[in-house]
Structure 1
């Protein structure tokens, strides 16, 4: 499984750092939704789902966390520790976000608006879908 981690250009001077993200320039899709997670309690696992068509870029803009990616055949764990790094998560990829540091903020840039019908929330259903697509 190939993991695509983006390193965004950071602009800084004595005032601090700034990262600007633009669709189709820094992000490989049109950004239709932005959300973020914070105050995640110790031991909590977020995500635990896949999407049928949605693409995402995950950026831990404060603190750190780990992302477990699973394409149905292979699993990888990717740490997010820098506010100028983003992890691309394709559709049909099971994701779990966990091990959030104290004060961590995980921002998600999404290619589509929220649509409950796009979610695959059952892991066995996800595996069946991946196997079916692989056979075609």
Structure 2
């Protein structure tokens, strides 16, 4: 399926504030997400100037959270490029398959948490940008 960076978007999660703080949630009910999630992973203690990702996925859907601090998410669909700043825990960013992604610009103490639609599968990764460019041209 041909996805573009414009198909990726922020998700506004319901937030419930009271005198004790705020609560937000996401669950596998297809109300907030287009996918059921199977895995949660997170990036933290990324050194200043460090970069993560640098790959695409053939089938994986992801939801990127900033549980603490902030970071930049750069997206490329082979024809369009888009960058967003992830900085609110109740405003995660949804990324579709077949999008090249790079994560950088981590603030001190930043925690990037990601809900993924599948268990880890190395075969789903495209780790070479030239191969990615060729792959998306065939979609």
Which of these residues, 14, 23, 39, is aligned with residue 9 of structure 1? 14
2:80 corresponds to: 74
2:36 corresponds to: 30
Which of these residues, 21, 38, 47, is aligned with residue 53 of structure 2? 47
Output the CA distance in 2 between the equivalents of 1:19 and 1:37.
20
- List alignment gaps of at least 5 residues for structure 2: none
Deviation at 1:12? 1.5
Which of these residues, 59, 64, 67, is aligned with residue 65 of structure 2? 59
Normalising by structure 2, what TM-score? Answer: 0.92
Normalising by structure 1, what TM-score? Answer: 0.94
Alpha-carbon RMSD across the aligned residues, in angstroms, is 0.9
Deviation at 1:57? 0.6
Stretches (4+) displaced over 2 A: none
1:92-133 Cα distance to aligned partner (Å, 9 max, x none): 000000000000011100000000000000000000001111
Deviation at 1:27? 2.1
Output the CA distance in 2 between the equivalents of 1:22 and 1:68.
26
Output the CA distance in 1 between the equivalents of 2:22 and 2:109.
19
Deviation at 1:65? 0.5
Q: Do residues 98 (structure 1) and 104 (structure 2) align? A: yes
Output the CA distance in 2 between the equivalents of 1:104 and 1:59.
10
Which of these residues, 120, 131, 139, is aligned with residue 125 of structure 1? 131
